[in-house]
């Protein structure tokens, strides 16, 4: 608009000023090697205006063409972007339906035009892996890495999951180690690390992870406790197999307070020491545990005390007897069972009989307890008690053999019409 106005004003000025200078206007001479051009000043102005108009016209045509090209490009680009969005949504639907082959094609077809090309390539890799095509899955991950860079958490997380699905556990272990350095506080990375470390039985690495996992809320208290117990069992088994009970004891002495305050860990050490026939060391840890914890925390310890070989006059037995006298009724059977087994192993059948009579009077008596009680009754020539235990054993066997009410087959309605085979 401004250029058109400028040309019109310039032309108008030439036309107005022309008559006033017509008497003394002079002329303009342009001479080349072979040509001579002469014109008046007015004609020069007109020529200049026409030349400027031609230049402006060419510029306008060129701009129009460029705008048309840009508009066409934007239209095609918007169309591809919209199509990529539709295919991404459809791919998610196909993947949820289990049609992984179709989902892979939809995710990868226009991935570069999607809102997040990296995510499309990751989903395409996951779909290819679910379809059993490891080569295609790796190809998509390589493309995603080229776009996102080598240290993208989302891409590396997808790569690690796919390695795990492919059964390449050592490679997945290496990948998750790198991921933990890249994103040590990422919940999804921690969750995947737990899975990989558990499957690879990397107990030491998993133990280091426990302190970080304990501050997260993606595990319930029950799940976290189960994870701690899994690590405790694994570490103790490894130490026992590699260095024997001496190595297990050294390992236990060097453990942090978090583990030494765990009854489960203590009971695990006691169990493995008994299995290794080191009853003396097991007795020392059992005595320490009995002194430090309350009855409601000691169920696992009482189970191991029935396997422990100790002298009847040992400090452990004295503490058991003292605590049994003060124990709540709910826990008297636990103490009676432990003392009964200890006295029986030391051939002190009279003392053992007293404990088993207390135990037999309650429903907490177990089949192994009745077998041991029967042995004690026979050793003390108490035939009445022995016969009563046999009757209880027989009754228990019959109860186990007879079908439960919901397992009894219903009789036919027309019993009279049933013919014998």
DSSP element (H, E) containing 233: helix 221-253
DSSP designation for 87: H
DSSP designation for 414: -
Q: Is 137 exposed, middle or buried (0-12, 13-18, 19+ CB in 10 A)?
A: buried
Band of pLDDT at residue 405, cut at 50, 70 and 90: very low
pLDDT tens for residues 175-211? 999 999 988 888 899 999 999 999 999 999 999 988 7
Q: 294 or 65, which is more confident?
A: 294
Query: pTM of the full predicted structure?
Result: 0.70
Predicted local distance difference test score (pLDDT) of residue 207: 92
Of 61-65, 107-111, 376-380, 415-419, the one with minimum mean pLDDT is 415-419
- Token pair recorded at residue 148: 């996102």
> Could you give the CA distance from residue 357 to residue 370 in angstroms, rounded to a whole number?
10
Highest mean pLDDT among 43-52, 340-349, 407-416: 340-349
> Could you give the CA distance from residue 144 to residue 128 in angstroms, rounded to a whole number?
14
CB-based contacts of 217: which residues, under 8 Å, 6+ apart? Answer: none
Predicted local distance difference test score (pLDDT) of residue 380: 87
Predicted local distance difference test score (pLDDT) of residue 79: 62
> Could you give the CA distance from residue 91 to residue 102 in angstroms, rounded to a whole number?
7
> Could you give the CA distance from residue 161 to residue 193 in angstroms, rounded to a whole number?
10
pLDDT tens for residues 123-156? 888 888 887 888 888 888 888 888 777 778 888 8
Domains of the chain: 278-398 (1.25.40)
pLDDT tens for residues 289-311? 999 999 999 999 999 999 999 99
DSSP element (H, E) containing 38: strand 36-39
> Could you give the CA distance from residue 144 to residue 120 in angstroms, rounded to a whole number?
9
Q: Provide mean pLDDT across the span 390-412.
A: 57
Mean pLDDT for all residues in the chain: 81
DSSP element (H, E) containing 30: strand 28-31
């Amino acid at each position: 608009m401004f250029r058109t106005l400028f040309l019109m004003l310039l032309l108008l000025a030439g036309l107005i000023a022309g008559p006033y200078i017509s008497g003394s206007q002079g002329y303009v001479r342009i001479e080349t090697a072979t040509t001579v051009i002469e014109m008046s000043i007015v004609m020069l102005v007109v020529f200049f205006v026409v030349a400027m108009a031609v230049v402006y016209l060419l510029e306008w045509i060129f701009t129009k063409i460029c705008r048309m090209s840009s508009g066409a490009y934007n239209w095609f680009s918007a169309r591809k972007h919209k199509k990529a969005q539709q295919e991404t949504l459809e791919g998610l639907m196909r993947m949820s339906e289990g049609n992984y082959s179709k989902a892979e094609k939809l995710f990868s077809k226009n991935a570069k035009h999607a809102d997040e090309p990296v995510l499309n390539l990751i989903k395409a890799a996951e779909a290819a892996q679910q379809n059993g095509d490891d080569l295609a899955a790796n190809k998509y991950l390589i493309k995603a890495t080229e776009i996102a860079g080598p240290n993208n958490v989302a891409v590396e997380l997808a790569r690690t999951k796919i390695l795990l699905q492919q059964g390449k556990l050592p490679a997945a272990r290496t990948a998750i180690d790198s991921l933990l350095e890249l994103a040590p506080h990422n919940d999804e990375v921690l969750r995947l690390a737990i899975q990989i470390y558990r499957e690879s039985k990397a107990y030491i690495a998993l133990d280091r992870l426990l302190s970080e996992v304990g501050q997260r809320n993606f595990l319930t208290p029950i799940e976290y406790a189960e994870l701690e117990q899994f690590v405790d069992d694994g570490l103790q088994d490894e130490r026992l197999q590699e260095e024997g009970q001496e190595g297990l004891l050294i390992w236990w002495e060097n453990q942090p307070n978090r583990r030494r305050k765990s009854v489960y860990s203590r009971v695990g050490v006691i169990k493995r020491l008994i299995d290794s026939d080191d009853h003396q060391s097991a007795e020392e840890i059992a005595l320490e545990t009995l002194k430090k914890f309350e009855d409601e925390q000691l169920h696992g310890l009482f189970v191991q005390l029935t396997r422990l070989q100790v002298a009847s006059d040992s400090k452990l037995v004295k503490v058991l007897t003292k605590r049994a006298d003060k124990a709540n009724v709910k826990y008297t059977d636990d103490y009676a069972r432990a003392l009964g087994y200890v006295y029986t192993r030391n051939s002190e059948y009279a003392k053992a009989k007293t404990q088993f009579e207390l135990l037999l009077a309650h429903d907490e008596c177990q089949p192994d307890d009745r077998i041991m009680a029967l042995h004690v009754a026979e050793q003390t020539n108490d035939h009445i008690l022995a016969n009563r235990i046999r009757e209880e054993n027989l009754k228990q066997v019959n109860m186990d053999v007879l079908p439960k009410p919901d397992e009894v087959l219903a009789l036919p309605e027309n019993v009279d019409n049933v013919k014998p085979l």
